[in-house]
Structures are given as structure tokens and as C-alpha cells.
Amino acid sequence: MTSPKLKNLASPAARSIFKALSGKAMFVGGAVRDILSGSFSSKTDIDIATPFPPDEIIKRLEKAGIKAIPTGYKHGTITALINGKPFEITSLRQDIKTDGRRAVVSYGTDYVQDALRRDFTINALYADLKGTVFDPLGTGQKDLSCHRLRFIGDPETRIKEDYLRILRFFRFSTTLGWDSADKAALTAIKPLAPLIRKLSKERIKSEFFKILSAPAPLAALLLMHKTKVLQNIDPSLTNLQRYKKTAAFAKLSGIAVSPVLALFSLSKSADPAVLKKGLVLSNAEYHELCALSSFHKKAFAAIRKRGAKIAAFTYGTPLCLAAFCLGGGAARDFTRSKENTKIIKELQHFTPPSFPLTGDDLLALGIKPNKNMGILLSKLKEKWLISGFSLSKRELLVSLKKTLYPSKKR
């Protein structure tokens, strides 16, 4: 089969790599899969397979004036960098020994053997510069057209070779937007789910956040819960009902659900310290989680009682949008109301201004830096908020002077 779409992979940069490898190369994996399925994007990695061993790949690339980086030298992967764009070139190989986390490989020249060591049939598709598809196992193209995600050969064997394939199964199913799941795969995954805990936290977090970042991960998350995968990532990730309401409300409101918001809504305990340690969250992710944990109820209450703009000034727009999803998802009659639409628009198009006064302004009036100064600033800020942020610095100071130095009655 030849696909005209695949010719898009044959960029001048790709052609120069194929030329350096004397034409003994083929595109493989994600790029071929995504173009054939219509989900190719600029973020899709372009991988190339070749019968040459790593040292020969480096030698040939450098001879052609192409920068070669030994990113995965031990496993036969060299990155070619052309005009800032990376191309991963991997030697044809087969696994000699696996332990669920890493593999010992040997290099060869057989595309069939190379295909047999891969995870899913749809990832074992190859293509040449002309766009001709090579399906060594004879099942990849059919599974792709049927939206069927299947392990190559026996699912249990594939999983025991690399435990991360459990998470990759759900990641691919949700990023490709496929609702159907292979029964043989799910049957194998459930008893093997505890093996996830043997993986590094970084690898788990990376795959899991890719799932949470997908446009509609609910179907995958439900299956992950059913097969105990979620619980083996973290025992608290069982609040599917709250996540479902939050995601549904966010979709109706046009709000993007960040991985951290998804994580928070999924977790029954939502303890930021525990989740940070278990999933090696970045500082930014941890702070977002802490803010959600501490203030989402207050932020939602502020939206309802004081309006979107004051709430956004007090808690920040991102937290208010997240709190709106969490709180709104629990309100039956709130999801489709005109009030909801108005609040969302206000939050999404409003940039909170800075309060025009500081402590220095009060010091200039002779006010001492004590508790009273803080009280005065709070009262002035409240007056400014009630005005709709309209009072200027001068107007606020005039108001303060009238309070401090009222005119004497005659």
C-alpha cells in the first residue's frame, strides 16, 4: 500500500538523512501511525529505522555534515539534528534480555524481528520516502483502520518485557481518541497492574500526565480504575465521580482541565505533599495543587457572592477557573445557565489590575508601620474593589485623609 499522505514525511531534512544512510532506512512508529490515522501534528516525533549499527549511523551522519547526538546509544538510538529539528534514528534490533524496566538488545538487519519487539501492532508500521507502507506483521494497518489497539503477540509477555506498556496502552487509546479497548489486553493488565510500582516515579508521572492532558481521557481513566491501574499509581485516585462532573462542566464551559486539576479531582484525599512525593511533581505543579486544596471552595464561593472579577483579583484567574469547574460540576442547575456563561467570559477576558496603593503611600502620610496600617490598607482595598477597581490612587488617598483628618464642625 502507498499513501500519498506519507510523502509529507519526506522533507528535505529527512531526505538528507536517508541519503546519508544510502537509502537503507524507513520511517517507523508514531509518524507513520499518526499520518495514516489523521492525527499527525508538528509535535509528532519522526523516527527512522535502519539496519546500520549505532557507530555506523554516527559515522555516516557526520560524513554528510549532519549533527549526530548519541541520545540512546546503548539501545541503538542516535538523534540527527538538522536546523534544530530532531530525527531519532534507531538500529534494527531485537531484545535479548528484559526485566520489565530495561532491555539488553542485539542489532540486526531484519525488519520483522525489529517489529516483533515493539509494543502495539499500530506502532510496527514502516514507510519509505515514496510513501509505501511496510507492515511486517500483517496486522498493523487493519488494526489502525478499525481503531483497535492491540499488543503484538501475547499481551502478558509484552507487558512483562516493559511494565510501562500498561500505561502506554491507556495513553495511546485516549490520545488517539479510541473508546474501544482490546479485551485480551485488559484481561492481562489487571493482574499485572502492581508491576507499575516497580517503575521510576518519573516515568509513571510522564505517561500519566500525558493521559490527563488528552482532550477526553474519561474512558481511559474508567478502564484504568477498573483494572486497578489508577490505584497502583496512587491509592487515592478513586474519585471518578468528581472527575467526571468536573470534566463535563469544564467541557460545557469551554475550560481546559490541566493535569493538576484532573489529578486533584481524581484524588479522594488530595494531599499535596503525598501526591508531590508519589508523582514527583514540579514546584509549579505542587503550588497549583496546594492552591486548589486550600482555596478552591473559597474561590468558588467568592465567584458566587462577590462576582468573577473580585474573585479573580483575590485568588487569581487560573485558580478561579479551576474552582469554577470543581464547584460548578456539583451544581445541577448551574452548568447551562446564562449566569455561567457570563462568569466564564468575565474570567477568561479579565486581567486583574494591581491595587494602586502600597504601605509607602501611607508612610508618606505619617502613618506608622503597625497593625493599624494593615487595617487601613484592607479597608481602602475593599472600597477600591466595591468601586469596580475604578478609584484612582489620588481618590483613595483623598478618602483616607478625610477619614484621618475629618473637618471640624463650627
**pLDDT of res. 96:** 84
Q: Which CATH number fits domain 1-146: 3.30.460.10, 3.40.50.300, 3.90.1300.10, 1.10.10.10?
A: 3.30.460.10
| Phi, then psi, of 92 in degrees rounded to 5 | -60, 135
**pLDDT of res. 329:** 60
Burial, 222: exposed, middle or buried (Cβ in 10 Å; 0-12, 13-18, 19+)? middle
pLDDT tens-digit series, residues 75-95: 899 999 999 999 999 999 988
β-bridge partners, 50: 91
pLDDT band at 407 (very low <50, low <70, confident <90, very high): low
pLDDT band at 256 (very low <50, low <70, confident <90, very high): confident
Q: Stretch 107-122: mean pLDDT, rounded? A: 94
pLDDT tens-digit series, residues 371-400: 889 999 999 999 999 999 999 999 999 999
Q: Is the pLDDT of residue 157 over 90?
A: yes
Q: Stretch 60-65: mean pLDDT, rounded? A: 97
Q: Give the whole-angstrom CA distance, residue 127 versus residue 109.
A: 16
Domain range annotation of the chain: 1-146, 359-404
